[in-house]
Amino acid sequence: MHKVVFALFALVLVTCATPRPPPVAAPAPAPAAEPHTGPPEGASSSGPEALAPPAEPAPGLIDEVLPAPDALRRLDFRGGEPQVPIGLMQGRREVRFSPRGRMRLRFGGEEDRVLEAPSGSVWTVRVTEGSPAELSTYLQLAEVPFPDKAGLAEAQAQWRARGMAVRVHVLGVLYGIAGKVIDNRRYLLLSQEQLSPTEAAARQTELLREYGARTSLFEEVRVPARAILEVRDESGGVVGLAQDSVLAETLDESGFDVRQVEHDVGYDNHGFEDRSFRGTLQLTVDRHGTLAAVNLVRLEDLLKGLVPSEIYARAHPEALKAQAVTARGEVLAKVGIKHLADPFLLCSEQHCAVYRGRTGEAASTTAAVEATRGEGLFSQQGRLVDSVYSAVCGGHTEDNDVVWGGPPNPNLRGRPDVLGPTEGLPGPDSLSEYLRAELPTACRLSTFAQPSKYRWEKRFSVEQVNAFTASLGVGPVRALSLGERGVSGRARTLTVAGERGVTQVRGELNIRRLFGMLNSSMALVEEERDAEGHLAGWHFRGGGWGHGVGMCQTGAIGRAEAGQRYQEILRFYFNGAEVAPIY
């Protein structure tokens, strides 16, 4: 059958003349950071000039040279709308896919070989002779917001006093789109010492026990991964080989069906599903020397497959629009800060943003994306707002610095999420009373409200708590205490007293992770004793589901149901920020 198809559709390797590299948005260079002196100097607060639209390819050329895998970690702004490389899966030995329209398969290389095939044909890309990337691993000791030079200097001094040689790394990008500034840079404080994975894990445990410091790992690619990729037709015959990467595109932009996409890795609902995607498909070597499937998709099409996973598709249209705007900003805010050793910008899992492509789309959320096309949320200074959100704020949102540290962000200030006047209502400053009160809050009155997320209780036995805290090195736990609360009542410190000492866990997320992802740190904790007076465990009573910073998703639905438009909803949750077009 394929011999006939080959003849009919001219499945030949074609050489394209004068190939050119694809235009990508070039971020402004980040300022250099000196590892042993004071904090690096920042860029001008006025921001960069807007980038000019990239030139279109000359007529008659079949596109540009296939981008190297590293280029898949940058945004492509052809046509004004960003094209985002999102990883669908990695670690595969082979990937099977089928074009939904006439396909052009590009093998790259100096000759830019091209293969054409019909709609519905089935293809397999298989990795052979793969070698993994060689990585350098360092301890990430701290992450500091870019404006917080004083915080960086303090972190440097603290770790040097502990005898640690450190260096500063600037993560993220600064760039402009149509006169709007997008700046997600931050400082990472790294150890100077290069470690093996085993050495790094041992060092992390040591620092946790000695200083109560939770560190993470930072990886740099020293030698990139390489692999030869085989392209096979439906009968299993090899029709071509490629070095490291193959690009598949449909001429009518109808996209692809990808077989057995792995999803929810590490979760109970882990599995495989056939999925359909818009855009183009890149099959490329990943850090392991195996195969990654990457979807190069326009940002608006990405949002169509992403927003339904973030909010109920049956929610009020104004809430869906608010979610579309915040999700668009969140994607742009993550550029250059995740998956630094991978051949894509974002993954399609919970780690970045759950994305199922065309398979996950819903008519209601697609309409919301289209109604807000190209819109983002901007501060009065014209900078993209970090439009974060959580599921249920519990009636009161929280300040960013309480949850993540660093300087206060004027657009991320906690406030009561009350529909109507707040006078005379109890507040989180009296948390016990607040958690018991029935308040007219948006996330309680929403038709999508879930009482078990708005207010909740959890009990942990002594054995469970001792297991959770074993790495802290304080021995069997005798007392727990939550402190340093923010305006919503969320705690940012947990003091743990055990038979062998006392330590403190800092950070809202660290507290929640310690107890297997506690619903939130807007909580009170009390010890429980048995009939004989022996310690039996601890009882947590709290409110909210998530960090509580920025937009409350359930509250946004409640506000929409109360008659607020999406601009008003976003203005409320982000302290006066305004919706404006990016492209």
What pLDDT is attached to residue 69?
40
Q: What is the pLDDT of residues 85-112, one digit of tens each?
A: 999 999 999 999 999 999 999 987 777 7
Best CA proximity match to 172, nearest among 411, 332, 388: 332
Per-residue pLDDT for 26 more than 90?
no
Per-residue pLDDT for 52 more than 60?
no
In the structure, what pLDDT confidence band is assigned to residue 412 with cuts at 50, 70 and 90? very high
Per-residue pLDDT for 290 more than 80?
yes
DSSP H/E element including 465: helix 462-468
What pLDDT is attached to residue 526?
95
* φ/ψ (deg, to 5) at 568: -70, -40
Per-residue pLDDT for 27 more than 80?
no
Out of 172-176, 177-181, 431-435, which region has the weakest mean confidence (pLDDT)?
A: 177-181
Instruction: For residue 494, list its beta bridge partners.
Output: 482, 505
What pLDDT is attached to residue 206?
87
Per-residue pLDDT for 38 more than 90?
no
Q: What is the pLDDT of residues 122-159, one digit of tens each?
A: 999 999 988 998 888 999 998 888 888 898 999 999 99
Residues 332 and 315 sit within 8 Å (Cβ to Cβ): no
What is the pairing mode between strands 578-581 and 375-378?
Answer: antiparallel
- Contacts for 5 with CB less than 8 Å, ≥ 6 apart: 11, 117, 118, 121
Mean local confidence (pLDDT), 365-388: 92
In the structure, what pLDDT confidence band is assigned to residue 353 with cuts at 50, 70 and 90? confident
In whole angstroms, give the CA distance from residue 265 to residue 199.
26
User: Rounded mean pLDDT of the chain?
Assistant: 84
Per-residue pLDDT for 198 more than 50?
yes
What pLDDT is attached to residue 77?
64
Per-residue pLDDT for 13 more than 80?
no
Q: What is the pLDDT of residues 512-541, one digit of tens each?
A: 999 988 999 999 999 999 999 999 999 999
Q: What is the pLDDT of residues 213-235, one digit of tens each?
A: 878 888 888 899 999 999 999 99
